[in-house]
Structure formats: C-alpha cells, structure tokens
C-alpha cells in the first residue's frame, strides 16, 4: 500500500484508512468483536496503518475493541489512531459535549482510557458546535500536543470559513496546525469541491474522506428498481442528511457507475473508491465494513487506473450544481474579468530549478 504524508506534516498515512464505526453491534448493524478483529487484522496485513474511530461510536465500544486489537497484535507503534470528540453522552449536562476546553479535556481522558494508550496520533473535532471560538479549540488542542497526549490535530464536519480561521490562527500563533479535515466526499456528494479543495491546497492541510461509498449506495447493493436492504435503507428516514441518498440524480450516478465498473471488470465499490482516492488534496479515504469480503474487495481499489474517458463519464454524471456565489467563478464569467484572455494557474514546473545546457547550474523556471 502507498503512503502519503498527512497534510503539511511528516506523518505517513496509508491511502485507505479503516473506519471502525461498525466495530460493535450496539446500534443494530455493526460487527461483533470476533468479526471486527478479523477486519482489523486483514487491514493491517494489507499494509494499512490508519484506524479511525470516535468516543461515542457504538457507545464507546469501538474505541475499547480497537484498543484491545492493537494491544494483542503489538502494533501500537505501527498504527495511527484517529479519534474524535464533540458529541454528548450525558443528557442535561451541556459541558459534556461540544468543543469547549472543558469538554475537550474531559473527552481526551476518556478516549485514552478506552483505547488503552497514553497518546492519540490524530485528535479530531467531530462536528462544529456553532458556539466555541476557533481560538479556544486550537489553543486547547495545542496544549494537548505539548502535553504529549496528542501528536497531531484535525477538524471534521466544520464550515470552510471556520477551518480557515482555525488554521490561520494556528499558523500565526505557532500552535499545532490542522493536519487534515475529515469530510464526506463521494461521487454522490461532491459539494466540498467548492471550498475545501482550495482551502487544503492554500492553507497547508489535507482532506480525509468519510463515506466514500455514500453509505453503501455506490457499493452495488442498491438499485433504482428496488432500494435494497442495509444500513442506508434502515436509516434513510432517520433525519440525518448523511443517509438521505435515494434521489433521482444519485440513481443516475449508480447507473453510470455500474456501466463503468462492468467495462473495467471491477466492482462498483472499487471504482467509486478509486475515483475519490485520486481527487486533489485527498490524503486518505476511510473504508468501513461489517463483513470480511467487503473489506477485501475495498482493498483492491488502488490496483488499477480509470481511463480518462471513463473518468470523464463519472465526473459528468456526478457534477454538483453550482450555486451563488460559485456561479461567478465559472469560466464564462471569469473570462469577463480577464478581457477574454486565457489566464490559468501556473504550471507545476513554475519556480522549479531547471538545468541550462552547458552551464552546470540551475535557474528558476519563470
């Protein structure tokens, strides 16, 4: 398996991460401990080194299982643990959730205990709480890094302006910067392309993808003729927009994906994963499974390339509709700013040293 550095850090992460929200059957659709251990062992044997969890996944049992698996396999130095805080497990106590300093310091101790470790590799804000200032979050996370309880910090499911503010404050005040931003991204959910790809490129971070198969919609188990059975069908009307996937546009994506997969002689899941793992700024993509054959199939997603023609077909059918103000950034209107002249980004070679024949010295390409 190939490894990328996570954002502007020296931490080397596998391109596929293992999601453990399915570790434990507390929610009615996960894997029991024996099955979860098999998934973990298979992933590690394949070269994977990033395991993603959260304090409230399966009521804390995801962290507990993961801690046992790592301890029993003696892989702590190899495994990168990503876990998250934000959600409240103590109804009526407003400070037992959210992103304030009090809760972060409470939550990290609980995760360390359940995981059975003395440090967390990547500690992540799970969801923006609309209340806590970015400075309070980032200063608290920096304190945890300085204490040795956390190695790197990250944000998930937060507005682009908030992530940008947090990263800028961290850079200017010499706090630990954001290593990655974890967001939903797939052929069926591409809205992060309007802001976050450019954010990652310009502010020295990266993207970590969750739900690359759109909660199973792109795995092949759901068809327009019959919605199928599984977690997505079970939770489609739960009120969580992450599971609201049965739409006319998404069925068109599923149909095109199936045709492309057949032409490549690959599974739909492998093609969908290959598409998202090769998008700009993506450092790692989280795959989740409840059955071994699902994980084994997912692990084959990096073994091929999607030809340009087929890639274009997937891009076209899944392209999100531009809304204000992004409509002003389309080529037709941007041309009005430049007087009709073509003005693009600099080529990759811009500013790189090039060899001048006979000189033996490098000069800047300009």
Q: What is the DSSP string of 171-212?
A: HHHTPPPEEEEEEE-BTTB-GGGGTHHHHHHHHT--EEEE-T
CA–CA dist 158, 248 (Å, integer): 27
> How many C-alpha atoms does 331 have within 13 Å on its Cβ side?
4
pLDDT of residue 187: 98
Does pLDDT of 230 surpass 70? no
Mean pLDDT of 48-76: 97
Catalytic residue positions? Answer: 57
pLDDT of residue 364: 45
Q: What percent of the chain has pLDDT over 70?
A: 90
Place 246 in a pLDDT band, splitting at 50, 70 and 90: confident
- Helix 33-45 vs helix 61-73: crossing angle, to nearest 10: 50
Question: Taking a C-beta distance cutoff of 8 angstroms, is the pair 84, 125 a contact?
Answer: yes
Q: Sign of dihedral through CA atoms 44, 267, 211, 162? A: positive
Question: Taking a C-beta distance cutoff of 8 angstroms, is the pair 49, 13 a contact?
Answer: yes
Does pLDDT of 196 surpass 70? yes
* pLDDT, tens only, 82-136: 999 999 999 999 999 999 999 999 999 999 999 999 999 999 999 999 999 999 9
pLDDT of residue 138: 98
Q: Which of 75-79, 246-250, 310-314 comes out lowest in average pLDDT?
A: 246-250
pLDDT of residue 111: 98
Across 299-330, b (16+ Cβ under 10 Å) vs e yields bebbeeebeeebbebbeebbeeeeeeeeeeee
pLDDT of residue 225: 61
Own/partner contacts of 318-324, CB < 8 Å, gap of 24 or more, are 318/187, 318/188, 318/190, 318/253, 319/190, 320/190, 320/191, 320/193, 320/194, 322/194
Mean pLDDT of 195-202: 97
CA distances from 32 to 13, 54, 231, 287, 324 (A): 27, 17, 16, 18, 46
Question: Taking a C-beta distance cutoff of 8 angstroms, is the pair 206, 179 a contact?
Answer: yes
- Across all residues in the chain, what is the average pLDDT? 91
Q: Which of 193, 187, 238 is nearest to 216 (CA)?
A: 187
CA–CA dist 150, 108 (Å, integer): 9
CA–CA dist 64, 258 (Å, integer): 38
- What SS3 state is found at 226? strand
- Helix 134-147 vs helix 160-173: crossing angle, to nearest 10: 50
pLDDT of residue 127: 98
CA–CA dist 268, 117 (Å, integer): 37
* pLDDT, tens only, 27-61: 767 899 999 999 999 999 999 999 999 999 999 99
Does pLDDT of 341 surpass 90? no
pLDDT of residue 353: 65
What residue has token string 């489609």? Answer: 236
Most distant CA atoms of the chain, gap in Å: 76
Record the pTM: 0.90
Place 333 in a pLDDT band, splitting at 50, 70 and 90: confident
CA–CA dist 55, 354 (Å, integer): 50
Q: Which of 107-116, 246-255, 264-273 comes out lowest in average pLDDT?
A: 246-255
> How many C-alpha atoms does 318 have within 13 Å on its Cβ side?
24
CA–CA dist 274, 256 (Å, integer): 15
């Amino acid at each position: 398996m190939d490894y990328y550095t996570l954002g502007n850090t020296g931490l080397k992460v596998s391109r596929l991460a293992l999601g453990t929200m399915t570790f434990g059957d507390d929610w009615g659709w996960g894997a029991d401990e024996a099955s979860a251990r098999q998934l973990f062992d298979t992933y590690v044997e394949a070269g994977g080194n990033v395991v993603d969890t959260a304090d409230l996944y399966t009521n804390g049992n995801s962290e507990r299982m993961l801690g046992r698996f790592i301890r029993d396999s003696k892989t702590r130095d190899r495994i990168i643990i990503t876990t998250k805080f934000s959600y409240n497990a103590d109804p009526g106590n407003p400070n037992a959730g959210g992103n304030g300093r009090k809760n972060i310091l409470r939550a990290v101790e609980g995760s360390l205990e359940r995981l059975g470790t003395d440090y967390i590799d990547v500690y992540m804000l799970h969801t923006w709480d609309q209340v806590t200032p970015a400075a309070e979050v980032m200063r608290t996370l920096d304190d945890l890094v300085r204490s040795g309880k956390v190695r790197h910090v990250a944000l998930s499911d937060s507005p682009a302006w908030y992530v940008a503010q947090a990263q800028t404050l961290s850079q200017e005040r010499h706090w630990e910067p954001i290593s990655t931003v974890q967001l939903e991204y797939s052929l069926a959910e591409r809205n992060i392309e309007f802001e976050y790809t450019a954010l990652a490129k310009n502010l020295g971070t990266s993207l970590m993808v969750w739900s690359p198969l759109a909660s199973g919609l792109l795995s092949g188990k759901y068809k327009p003729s019959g919605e199928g059975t599984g977690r997505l069908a079970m939770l489609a009307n739960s009120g969580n927009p992450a599971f609201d996937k049965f739409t006319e546009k998404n069925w068109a994506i599923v149909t095109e994906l199936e045709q492309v997969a057949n032409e490549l002689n690959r599974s739909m899941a492998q093609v969908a994963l290959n598409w998202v793992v090769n998008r700009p700024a993506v450092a790692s993509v989280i795959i989740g499974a409840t059955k071994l054959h699902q994980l084994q199939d997912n692990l084959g997603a990096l073994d091929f390339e999607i030809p340009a023609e087929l890639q274009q077909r997937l891009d076209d059918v899944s392209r999100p509709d531009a809304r204000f103000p992004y409509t002003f950034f389309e080529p037709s209107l941007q041309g009005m700013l430049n007087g009709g002249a073509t003005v693009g980004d600099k080529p990759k070679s811009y500013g790189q040293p090039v060899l001048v024949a006979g000189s033996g010295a490098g000069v800047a390409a300009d």
